Amino acid sequence: MTTEALLRLYGREHSDIWDRFHSEFDFRPNTYVFPGITEPAPSITWSLDALDDDPGDRGLHRLVDVVQDGLVKCSRPGEALWILDWQHTCYRLRPDLPPTDMFLPRVLEGRTREGWPLTPYPDGDYAVFLAEDLRFGTFGHPWESSFCVFGAELLDAVAEDVHQVLARVLRRDGNRDGLPG
């Protein structure tokens, strides 16, 4: 267990978590074939289209706040979160510790949790936030323009608020069965 709030992932640790993610979720990076992972049950995948016309990015900020708050709420004391940004720097974050690196670039202006290097919104590449043991998390797909939340405890914490922001469900538990055309 680390005692630092935020660590950049390098070398073996970086490749190990990506290998675990590929193995557990069958990650299939592709700009035309969707979804990009095998979405687990339980999960809900929303379209991000509601954020296309978002004056002042209010919906985007609300989404980020809700999801980051939910990730913190669902994390156990001493547990880290994996923050994966495909083809970019990735991190291990201990949300129960005070932030230690105040010089991180911000993806969004406005409110995001202090010390978080990235947001769960897929801004140009896949954005993945995972519990240390992979039991819950989020997967943002930039080319499908979708956002998947998975794991019962995280869904219980955020689904209602995420739905208020994004509204249109693409899939539940990885399939479209029973969803409107």
Examine the pLDDT at 133 and tell me if it is beyond 90.
yes
The CA-based angle 151-127-76, given to 5 degrees, is: 40
| Widest pairwise Cα distance in the chain | 48
Per the prediction, the chain carries an average pLDDT of: 90
Q: Supply 16's token pair.
A: 């190990």
pLDDT of residue 103: 45
Measure the CA–CA gap between 161 and 151, rounded to whole angstroms: 16
Examine the pLDDT at 108 and tell me if it is beyond 60.
no
User: Region 4-11: what's the mean pLDDT?
Assistant: 92
User: Region 160-166: what's the mean pLDDT?
Assistant: 98
Percent over 90 (pLDDT), the chain: 80
Measure the CA–CA gap between 91 and 168, rounded to whole angstroms: 30
User: Region 111-124: what's the mean pLDDT?
Assistant: 83
Please report which helix (H) or strand (E) contains residue 161, including its range. Answer: helix 152-166
Band (155; pLDDT cuts 50, 70, 90): very high
Band (99; pLDDT cuts 50, 70, 90): confident
pLDDT of residue 23: 97
In the chain the first and final C-alpha atoms are separated, in Å, by 46
C-alpha radius of gyration, the chain, whole number: 15
Examine the pLDDT at 111 and tell me if it is beyond 70.
no
pLDDT of residue 39: 98
Give exposure, 85-118, as e/b (b: 16+ Cβ within 10 Å). bbeeebbbbbbebebeeeebeebeeeebeebbbb
Contact 108, 59 (CB under 8 A): no
pLDDT of residue 112: 62
pLDDT of residue 168: 97
pLDDT of residue 84: 97
List pLDDT tens digits, range 22-77: 999 999 999 998 999 999 999 999 999 999 999 899 999 999 999 999 999 999 99
Closest CA to 137 of 87, 71, 93: 71
Does the pTM surpass 0.85? The reply is yes
Closest CA to 67 of 105, 116, 24, 20: 116
